[in-house]
Amino acid sequence: MATVIRIYPEAGDAGIGPHLEFNLSDFGGQLPNCGDLIIKPQGQGAPGDEVWEVSTRYFDPGPGFDAGACLHVLVRSRPMSPSERALHQGLSPPLRS
């Protein structure tokens, strides 16, 4: 079984919101780490509108060798800055020679 990555957005006084599930390949084979920034995926609001900052992660190991493990990731959501939006949209200026 594969590692499941569950992302939980913080929801103010309610604690955490409903989670979204991903797998390792969704993150290019890298586990999200504290301080990492994740562009909010399409289908979860307008693309490019928000950034998730990883605040905490909890490992939930599988019950045995090669069993499905789960990584619970808490994130804080914030609006994307103009420079982040440009980076996401591929609008960075070309290097000058």
> What does the domain layout of the chain look like in residue ranges?
4-88
pLDDT of residue 24: 87
pLDDT of residue 54: 96
pLDDT of residue 3: 78
Contact 52, 27 (CB under 8 A): no
Q: Rounded to an integer, what distance in angstroms lies between the CA atom of residue 38 and that of residue 21? A: 14
In order along its 97 residues, the chain shows pLDDT tens digits of 567 899 998 887 778 878 899 988 888 888 899 999 998 876 655 555 889 999 999 988 766 666 678 889 999 989 988 888 877 777 555 655 5
E runs forming strands in 1-97: 4-9, 20-23, 37-39, 50-60, 70-79
Contact 28, 15 (CB under 8 A): no
